[in-house]
């Protein structure tokens, strides 16, 4: 039978000889502590392998800038400092264009100068045609668009290879005034589709980066959902 009375137990194992080292140094040189530390370092390194690509992509991601080349190859940035991306500039421009197109006092547009600066020749013909078709509907009324949604999408390139965009603007046309003996105060939902092209003559056309080339206007029912 084995005598275990003299065998060391966990309770009576003598403390390690520190050889004059401080307890902190003893922890560092302890093999078991070192193994645990290196295991933690290895786990952190493995975690970084999976996380690092996402962090690098997020840090280095740069939003698209609104840059337009003029006829003389001049470079123009976004017209408003707060608008940093092409999508923001296009939505701002579509808002200005629709406001100039649909804001009317009777048969006269309220912002004729904006129409001339935001629409090219083809766009102006389309605006004039729309005004003539809706002349009787707005005679004697003050009309103003209230925009609720703008969707921007790419519309390919023109014959010269310049990018084009399609802007779909949805909202309500607020009408107020008097037609004959009837007081009018109502609203009509509308949807305007605009074809936006680059303005290649910025130096001579008011520094507007885009122009409206084509218009498609229609009134919509309340039951018709807004486009996404």
Distant-in-sequence, close-in-space partners of 114: CB < 8 Å, separation ≥ 6: 96, 99, 100
Q: What is the spatial distance between Cα 115 and Cα 97, in angstroms, rounded to a whole number? A: 7
Do residues 207 and 71 touch, judged by C-beta distance below 8 A? no
Percent of the chain with pLDDT over 70: 70
Structural domain 68-219, CATH architecture? Roll (3.10)
User: Is the model more confident about 227 or about 23?
Assistant: 23
Q: Is the pLDDT of residue 67 over 70?
A: no
What mean pLDDT comes out for the span 195-205?
76
pLDDT (mean) for 197-202: 80
pLDDT digits (tens, 9 = 90+) for 157-192: 888 888 899 999 999 999 999 888 888 888 999 999
What letters, b where the CB count within 10 A reaches 16 and e where it falls short, cover 169-199? bbbbbbbebeeeeeeeeeeebbbbebbbbbb
pLDDT category at 144 given cuts 50, 70, 90 is very high
Residue identified by tokens 């037609």 is 179
- Inform me whether the pLDDT recorded for 6 exceeds 80: no
- The most confident of 77-91, 107-121, 196-210, by mean pLDDT: 107-121
Instruction: Name the β-bridge partners of 212.
Output: 119, 196
pLDDT in tens, 114-131: 888 889 899 999 999 999
Per-residue pLDDT, averaged over 20-36, amounts to 69
* Residue 114 confidence (pLDDT): 87
Give 73's DSSP letter: S
Give me the residue spans of the domains in the chain: 23-60, 68-219
pLDDT of residue 74: 46
Cβ proximity of 207 and 101 under 8 Å:
no
Tell me the H-state helices in 64-221.
Answer: 86-102, 112-118, 121-133, 135-138
Read off the pLDDT of each residue in 20-28 and give the average, rounded to a whole number: 63
**pLDDT band, very low/low/confident/very high, at 70 (cuts 50, 70, 90):** very low
**What pLDDT score does 99 carry?**
93
Sheet hosting strand 182-198, strand order edge to edge: 108-109, 104-105, 141-157, 163-179, 182-198, 210-219
Q: What's the mean pLDDT in 189-196?
A: 94
- What are the strands, taking DSSP E only, across 15-162? 68-69, 75-76, 104-105, 108-109, 141-157
Residue 136 has pLDDT above 50, yes or no: yes
């Amino acid at each position: 039978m084995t005598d275990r009375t003299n065998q060391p137990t966990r309770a009576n194992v003598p403390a390690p000889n520190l050889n004059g080292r401080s307890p902190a140094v003893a922890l560092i040189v302890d093999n078991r502590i070192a193994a645990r530390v290196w295991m933690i370092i290895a786990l952190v390194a493995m975690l970084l392998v999976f996380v690092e690509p996402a962090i690098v992509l997020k840090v280095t991601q740069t939003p698209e800038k609104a840059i337009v080349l003029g006829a003389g190859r001049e470079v123009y940035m976004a017209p408003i400092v707060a608008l940093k991306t092409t999508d923001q500039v296009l939505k701002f421009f579509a808002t200005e264009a629709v406001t100039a197109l649909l804001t009317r006092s009777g048969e006269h547009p309220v912002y004729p100068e904006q129409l001339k600066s935001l629409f090219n020749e083809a766009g102006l013909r389309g605006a004039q045609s729309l005004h003539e078709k809706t002349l009787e509907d707005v005679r004697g009324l003050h009309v103003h668009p209230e925009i609720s949604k703008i969707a921007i999408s790419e519309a390919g390139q023109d014959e010269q290879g310049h990018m084009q965009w399609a802007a779909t603007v949805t909202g309500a046309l607020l009408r107020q005034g008097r037609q004959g003996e009837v007081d009018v105060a109502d609203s009509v939902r509308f949807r305007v589709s605009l074809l936006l092209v680059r303005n290649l003559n910025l130096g001579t056309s008011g520094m507007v980066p885009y122009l409206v080339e084509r218009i498609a206007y229609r009134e919509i029912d309340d039951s018709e959902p807004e486009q996404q």
